[in-house]
Chains A and B, each alone.
Chain A
Amino acid sequence: MDSDPDTNGAPEPQLSEDELRLSYLSLEDSRHVPQGVRLERNGSLPADFYDAREDIKPDDVEASPPRMVTGGREGSSKGKIGLIEGLEMDGEAPPSPSSSGYAGERGSSGGSSGTVEAADGGERVLHDDWDKGKQRIDEDDTSASWRKRKKHFFVLSHSGKPIFSRYGDEHKLAGFSATLQAIISFVENGGDRIKFVRAGRHQVVFLVKGPIYLVCISCTEEPYEALRGQLELLYGQILVILTKSIDRCFVKNPKFDMAPLLGGTDAVFSSLIHSFGWNPATFLHAYTCLPLAYSTRQAAVAILQDVADSGVLFAILMCRHKVVSLVGAQKASLHPDDMLLLSNFILSTESFRTSEAFSPICLPHYNSMAFLYAYVHYLDVDTYLALLSTNSEGFYHLKECRIQIESVLVKSNVLCEVQKSILDGGLHVEDLPVDSSLRSGLPCPHPSQGRAGPSSMSDIGGPAGLWHFIYRSINLDQYVSSEFSSPLNSSRLHKRLYRAYQKLYVSMHDRQIGPHKTQFRRDENYVLLCWITQDFELYAAFDPLADKALAIKTCNRVCQWVRDLENEIFLFGGSPFSW
């Protein structure tokens, strides 16, 4: 990260009065950066912007040789773990502590590392067309290809019986699974809890959920918190299918083999793991809506509200992974993670597409112990309706509700509007309204870089070199993300950007020294800007040569733009479905 040379007399943007109702990001004081966190005095005043270099805690687990970090007493069991053999990590030299504090995406950018991640494959633009189901079933821990995979996920029981592996056949990996259990249980025996192990460039992250153990082995350089969050979602997906009552099977019978109960759900887990690389909902803990005219969405809300009043707990109309409309019965609220897991379950289960279906499902944040019953029906190839009820015999009632809803949606043209919205796409950075102050009267952003001038900046991406942004509304639990456009035109680049955002997210929400208000980073790939207020979080990526003052100004524009469009891009429900 090269810090912006912000001593060259950065202009202080003049704020117009009417923009002051929003909190505002400005360059004030950026020359005199205090060390540590500066708290904003008042949300309505201009936020002081400062370079966040000092706030980024050096990754304290990165610099040392293989090392174990446990819950209570860090590394207390070190040495004894050597009793257990079999977990052979690639014995590469640990990376040198990154002087940039942002080791970034060396691992995930591919090529240089010589490792493979199958889901990366090719330059797929659509995320929908990846191979569903288990990948590389023929591999096991003795295969070179298996060992080179950049990101493994395992689920096993507390007796070491394999439940799920992202790559390879679970039964062939029984020995590996046993090794993982031995490590976890060994540390547990000492009254401790293992959190992760660093081995060269690999990080092994453990998550123990009662009798179910989840492990991620990754060399993607994603932060521990991010990988742990992914394991939490993986566990949540298990609960969606089986509920937490599964724990009692283990109490009754420690030998319990859970894998058969999850039969046929490989695609659900593979799809979820795949989404860690493309769906920001997996780390933002928010959902996103399909952009629609306010009146169109309200029409959909109204009809869903009608059925919710007739005993349906949740009525959800979605298009791919975006929400069209959503209504909960009185006092029932739906957690964004539950929505993510539910929509992943529906989208990755092929049989839902072929006929109307009725399936028990669990929403872990709503009630992890018990099942709800979901009626799922695709209204067209992308749009589906999920009606959730507590009545296991509610199929015919829900079917009637669906018929009623469908006819209203067709009559009121909602489905056509949905299709139109898919074709139009969401927000494009190129369309960001630009006022005159951004267009003219500003110095050439980087004369020293030999660029032709400001115009070359706007040739690709949006104004001021804006490439992409995500805006998350905190009160609504919703986010809106701009569409990818040039130069971010491959799935590999998308994934790299999401991982950079994810890293930004983790560093902004650091439990010990955070949360932070603002962060500005520049590396060889992007300028990243993050701004968090009481109301929203903004993550923006710019051309790496973007001018800081302009970038900040552009972020203010983005926020204004999002607010101008909020009735179309967000769902404002009448019922309190949000926390």
Chain B
Amino acid sequence: MASRRRMLLKVIILGDSGVGKTSLMNQYVNKKFSNQYKATIGADFLTKEIQFEDRLFTLQIWDTAGQERFQSLGVAFYRGADCCVLVYDVNVMKSFDNLNNWREEFLIQASPSDPENFPFVVLGNKIDIDGGNSRVVSEKKARAWCASKGNIPYFETSAKEGFNVEAAFQCIAKNALKNEPEEEIYLPDTIDVSSGGRQQGSPSGCEC
């Protein structure tokens, strides 16, 4: 239990396999990049402490596997997420087309209380490849899609070169925080002796 008031934000990273989810996370958390592709099995978990507007946050990053065979893990993983990061490869059209599926799948599985305003962030990764010559998804197209989904913030990144990664995660933290509900006072019931005192079926009126 924190004595200082710190916040923990659960961040889920989703996207097709091979778009660079793990690399982005590694660049962000460990400042490292490897060209070798190692498929994530199930999910990896990393934590990163950040400071934002004089507050200390811990990002609990859930780096999920992109392969379809892991999709059954969905509900277990998505529950209680504060922010969802959708990643695609600007050089692979299919990975961009699939963003919609990832987003909808997340909203179904996580069933957040306010799906319209749930904070997503979209990252177009691998902009460094071939000097940008093999790129098939234009920034304009990506931004248009983000705008159509309720103005999702969009970043173009290179996990390899560390480009824009820090900025993207700052935005992720900011958005997760923005969505935080107002602090309410936790006030459970008091025992009412006149109605027996002992365990009751369903007490009413929780102000938590």
Chain A interface (Cβ < 8 Å from any Cβ of B): 82-86, 157-164, 170-179, 181-182, 185-186, 188-189, 242-243, 245-246, 248-249, 252-257, 259-266, 313, 332, 360, 362, 366-373, 390, 392
Q: Tell whether, in the assembled complex, residue A175 and residue B60 are in contact, meaning their CB atoms are under 8 Å apart.
A: yes
Stretch among B16-24, B155-163, B186-194 lining the A interface: B186-194
Q: Tell whether, in the assembled complex, residue A264 and residue B3 are in contact, meaning their CB atoms are under 8 Å apart.
A: yes
In the complex, whether B45 has a CB less than 8 A from a CB of chain A is: yes
Q: Contacts A366-B198, A369-B203 known; A160 to B60 CB distance under 8 Å?
A: yes
A-B contact count (CB 8 A): 168
Q: Tell whether, in the assembled complex, residue A85 and residue B42 are in contact, meaning their CB atoms are under 8 Å apart.
A: yes
In the complex, whether B113 has a CB less than 8 A from a CB of chain A is: yes
B80-104 contacts to A (CB < 8 Å): 80-82
Report the Cα distance A397→B200, complex, angstroms. Answer: 27
Q: Tell whether, in the assembled complex, residue B60 and residue A161 are in contact, meaning their CB atoms are under 8 Å apart.
A: yes
Q: Tell whether, in the assembled complex, residue B80 and residue A171 are in contact, meaning their CB atoms are under 8 Å apart.
A: no
Determine the chain A residues whose CB is within 8 A of the CB of B181 once the complex forms. Answer: 253
Stretch among B4-12, B131-139, B164-172 lining the A interface: B4-12
Report the Cα distance A242→B5, complex, angstroms. Answer: 18
Query: Which of A188, A255, A262 has the most C-beta atoms of chain B within 10 angstroms of its own C-beta?
Result: A255
Q: Tell whether, in the assembled complex, residue B58 and residue A171 are in contact, meaning their CB atoms are under 8 Å apart.
A: yes
Sorted from nearest, which 6 A-B pairs have the closest CB atoms? Answer: A159-B80, A185-B76, A245-B188, A175-B45, A174-B60, A83-B42
Q: Tell whether, in the assembled complex, residue A182 and residue B80 are in contact, meaning their CB atoms are under 8 Å apart.
A: no
Determine the chain A residues whose CB is within 8 A of the CB of B80 once the complex forms. Answer: 157-161, 254-256
In the complex, whether B26 has a CB less than 8 A from a CB of chain A is: no
Total contacting residues, chain B, CB less than 8 A: 48
* Inter-chain pairs besides A157-B80, A362-B188, 20 sampled, C-beta below 8 Å: A83-B42, A85-B41, A159-B79, A160-B80, A171-B2, A175-B60, A185-B75, A249-B186, A254-B112, A257-B7, A261-B186, A264-B1, A313-B193, A369-B189, A369-B203, A370-B188, A370-B191, A370-B192, A371-B189, A390-B191
Q: Tell whether, in the assembled complex, residue B189 and residue A263 are in contact, meaning their CB atoms are under 8 Å apart.
A: no
Chain B interface (Cβ < 8 Å from any Cβ of A): 1-3, 5-8, 10, 41-47, 49, 58, 60, 62, 70, 72-73, 75-77, 79-82, 110, 112-113, 180-181, 186, 188-193, 197-200, 203, 206, 208
Residue B200 contacts which of A257, A261, A367 (CB distance < 8 angstroms)? A367
Report the Cα distance A10→B161, complex, angstroms. Answer: 83
Determine the chain B residues whose CB is within 8 A of the CB of A245 once the complex forms. Answer: 188-189, 203, 206, 208
Report the Cα distance A172→B199, complex, angstroms. Answer: 38
Report the Cα distance A362→B186, complex, angstroms. Answer: 14
Report the Cα distance A83→B39, complex, angstroms. Answer: 12
Determine the chain A residues whose CB is within 8 A of the CB of B58 once the complex forms. Answer: 171-172, 174
Q: Contacts A179-B45, A185-B77, A255-B82 known; A242 to B186 CB distance under 8 Å?
A: yes
Q: Tell whether, in the assembled complex, residue B41 and residue A242 are in contact, meaning their CB atoms are under 8 Å apart.
A: no
